[in-house]
A = this chain, B = another copy of it.
Amino acid sequence: MKPVQHIKIGRGMKISELVKQMENSGVMGAGRIAKATEIMGRMFNDKDCKIFFGVAGAMVPGGMKELIIDVLKTERVAAFVTTGANLVHDLIEALGNRHYQGSADVDDKKLHKMGIDRIYNAFMKNEVYAGLEKFFKSHYEEIRHFTKINDFLWKLGSLVPAAAKDSILKVCYENKIPIFCPGIADSGIGLMMWGNIAAGKHCDLQAFADMDDIISLAWKSKKNGILYVGGGLPKNYIQQALQFSKGASYGVQLTADLPQWGGSSGAELREGISWGKMNEKGKFIDVYGDATITLPLVWAAVKDKISSSALLSPKPSLGSLMKSDRRKG
């Protein structure tokens, strides 16, 4: 048995040093952080591994956009699965708007009168929807004829104004990273599309058209890795695809949900072994806690572990984009 070594904190300490200390303690949440870092280090360094990256929760209003982009920009992410909400908040920022540092101890009636929408302690001006509406109206003809949600989202990414320095949609588009968002109707993007559809202009997006891509990815890969930030539909949709693989070889989930309630969001990765979603020999860990704390901590330590070859190679020319060869596994 390895002894629990107590964590020592020095001045000017690096994150990777702290995580090394957590590896030496090896128990409770600290031990989980260390194990998540170790597994992620392996999975991002393993050239045979396709990583499925699922993100739920208010991660863009929560300040995690750049970090998500950073993960996406590694070469390893083969599929990005997220909620419509994170994409619409990304687009809102890409169109020049911001989220603000607010408070949850407020009078929501006052906020309503001021035209401020609350996302826990993040605020957003309701007027951002006017900008969204204009964007979707002006580009509607360009975006309504896709059948795959992924192609539609890539197109949105291509339309993000050049002024937008950073955007998840744009980065996925530019780097040919498939975006799966089966619940896209449940978002401001859905609403904007509905507004135009309701005005009589049909949209071709189909409900099941993207499924083959994610399942093929899982099926054809030598090895799969999973990184879940939150649960929800992104996690479950990836888990579903993994049933058609040998089971994930690596798995890390960072979640504030818990297994005791019985739902998919909080389910232990171990449970996936029974289903064949996780490989029996896979390495995995569940990290419980607020992902706006655990994700930056783990990712910073992982970055110090992954080789430069795992970081994004030069951007492909845009001409090659719609071939979407990457997502074919």
**A9→B300 contact, CB < 8 A:** yes
In the bound assembly, the distance between CA atoms of A21 and B67 in angstroms comes to 11
In the bound assembly, the distance between CA atoms of A85 and B254 in angstroms comes to 22
- Interface centre among A24, A70, A300, by most chain B C-beta atoms within 10 angstroms, is A300
**B297→A26 contact, CB < 8 A:** no
**B183→A3 contact, CB < 8 A:** no
What is the distance, in angstroms, from A321's C-beta to the closest C-beta of chain B?
22
Q: What residues of B have a CB within 8 angstroms of the CB of A70 in the complex?
A: 8-9
Count of chain A residues with Cβ under 8 Å from any Cβ of B?
Answer: 124
Q: What residues of B have a CB within 8 angstroms of the CB of A116 in the complex?
A: 274
Copies of chain A in the complex: 4
Q: What residues of B have a CB within 8 angstroms of the CB of A27 in the complex?
A: 61-63, 99, 101-102, 120-122, 262, 292
In the bound assembly, the distance between CA atoms of A274 and B125 in angstroms comes to 10
Query: Do most interface residues of chain A lie in helix, strand or loop, or is the interface mixed?
Result: mixed
Bits for A182-195, please: 1 = Cβ < 8 Å to B, else 0: 11111100110110
- Interface centre among A4, A12, A118, A292, by most chain B C-beta atoms within 10 angstroms, is A4
What is the distance, in angstroms, from A14's C-beta to the closest C-beta of chain B?
5
| Listed A/B pairs (10) with beta-carbon separation below 8 Å | A2-B101, A3-B99, A4-B61, A6-B63, A11-B304, A27-B63, A28-B62, A28-B292, A190-B208, A197-B212
Interface set of A (CB-CB < 8 Å, partner B): 1-16, 18, 21-22, 24-33, 56-58, 61-67, 70, 83, 85, 98-102, 104-105, 108-109, 111-112, 116-123, 126, 149, 166, 182-187, 190-191, 193-194, 197-198, 203-208, 210-212, 215, 230, 232-233, 236-237, 240, 256-265, 267, 270-276, 280, 288-294, 296-297, 299-300, 303-304
